[in-house]
Each structure stands twice: as C-alpha cells, then as structure tokens.
Amino acid sequence: MKPWALCFAGILWRELLRFLQQRGRFLAALVRPLVWLFIFAAGFRSILGVSIQPPYQTYMLYEVYITPGLCGMILLFSGMQSSLSMVYDREMGSMRVLLVSPLPRWFLLLSKLVAGVLVAALQVYVFLAIAWFWEIEPPLPGYLTLLPALLVAGLMLGALGLLLSSFIRQLENFAGVMNFVIFPMFFASSALYPLWRVKEASPLLHAIAAANPFTHAVELIRFALYAQLDPGSLVAVLGWTALFTAVALWGYNPARGFVALSGKAGPPG
C-alpha cells in the first residue's frame, strides 16, 4: 500500500507547490467569484428577492443565496482548467512523467484529479473566509460538512472536464471550454437563481437546469454549507461522478495531446 500512498502524496504535494508558487493563478481564481459576490450580487440584490427555502431558515440576501454557486464556480473553473491541461497544454510534459511511473494509469489520473480538487477546495475556503466579512456567515459546522461535498462535486466536474477534452477536439483551448461548457453549465443551473424562479420564466430552461449536473453540485454544496444533507443531490452527484470518472479514465489518451503538440501535421519522428 505504501507506494500508492507515496505516489498520491507526491502528486498532491506537487499540485500544492505549483499552486502556491503561481500567485497569479491563485489571485485569478479568487478574484472571479469575489467580483460576482461584491459587484453582481450587490447590483442584483434589490431586483432578485429570494424567499425562504431550504436550507435557509429565514429570508436571505441575494449574496447569501449565490455563495454556494460561486463555490461551485471555483470548482468548475479549476476542474476544467486542470483537466484541459492534462490533455493538451504545457502540462503534457509533466503528464508524461506521471504516466510512465509504475502505478496503474487509472490510479495516476484519479490521484491527479483528486489533488486538483483538494487545491480547488482550498481556494473555496479562502473565498469563504473573505466572504465572511461580507456577512456571508454560515454556521461553523457547515465549514466542516462542506469539505466532502466539495470533494465529490469537484471530482465530478474534473472528471467531466477530462471526459470532454478527451473526446471533443474543439475544446482544445480554454475559450472553447468557457463558451460551450462553463457558461452554459453555470447559467443554466441553480447557482444564480432558484429553480422555482427559472420555472416561472421558462419550463424548458427549468427542465434543463434540473437535469444539469452542476445544479446538483451547487445544491449539494448549498445544503452542506448549512450542515445539512440534500439526499437527492448527493445521489445525483455520486452517480454523475461515477459515470464521468469511469468514461474519462477509459477515454484518456495521451496520443491526443501528443499529436496536438506536434502541430497536428502528423506523427512525430
């Protein structure tokens, strides 16, 4: 068992080191949800009233409502970014070092996904620490129960990213992922508005949002942040995670990024 634990520790340690040393990446990951919280939510506070609904026990400010969605946003961006890099960009070099180490490929890829999720979870906690001063004050046990929700939701999104970038050639740059994956998933979800409000506006959009895996991730996070469990979301997220992870591990092919790196002109010498 020891080589497996050491290997995972190595992968996690490297992810943390890289994250801490790339301060620009850290700031970008933090600024994005904070802009939504400080500017978007403040602007829409008076327009979008949100009534009492579980897990909230009273009327809440709009900022309070969208905070779990912004936690999900951090996981979504992080998962897509790291998965894309595992297939195409400069990470390909270090992916090769990882993949020629002796442990099974499924374990190496899964470890890389989990390590990425743990780093993203760290970002979520930093975001929540700042949000505390903006009167986003969930109960203290919620910070603890949030962690498993972040892990499973993050793994689901990371595996989805790996799956998409392995199978869809058009997603080889981040702009493609933003337009075709991140924005549709984020906006057609319960991150910014409750599903019942979406239903009032468009039954079709409601159906899409209700089926959106990101909605389930956000709801899981929302309830977990208030130390509660939403069983429906948990089952859905676990199911999607198992499906995405299995297909992503099966479909991962380093030859893809390899050919991309060599300019798609044909096989390298």
Show the binding pattern over residues 238-257: x = contacts other proteins (CB under 8 A), - = does not. Answer: ----------------xx--
Applying CB under 8 A, the site for other proteins has a residue count of 35
Select 4 or 59, whichever has its Cβ closest to other proteins: 4
| Position 3 contacts other proteins (CB under 8 A) | yes
DSSP track, 31-83: HHHHHIIIIIHHHHTTTS-B---TT-SS-B-HHHHHHHHHHHHHHHHHHHHHH
Region near other proteins per CB under 8 A, out of 68-76, 102-110, 134-142, 189-197: 102-110
Classify residue 54 by its DSSP letter: T
Q: Hey, how many other C-beta atoms are within 10 angstroms of the C-beta on 168? A: 13
Closest approach of Cβ 259 to other proteins, in Å? 6
Q: Which of residues 64-93 bind other proteins (CB under 8 A)?
A: 92-93
With CB under 8 A as the contact rule, which of the stretches 37-45, 156-164, 193-201, 260-268 interacts with other proteins? Answer: 260-268
Q: Is residue 101 near other proteins by the rule CB under 8 A?
A: yes
> In the beta sheet, which residues pair with residue 210?
none
Residue count (the chain): 269
Which residue has 């949800």 as its token pair? 33
Alpha-carbon distance 108 to 125, whole Å? 26
Q: Is 6 in the site for other proteins (CB under 8 A)?
A: yes
The span of 44-52, 72-80, 98-106, 157-165 binding other proteins (CB under 8 A) equals 98-106
Of the CA atoms within 13 Å of residue 252, those in its CB half-sphere come to: 28
CB of 30 to other proteins, least distance (A): 19
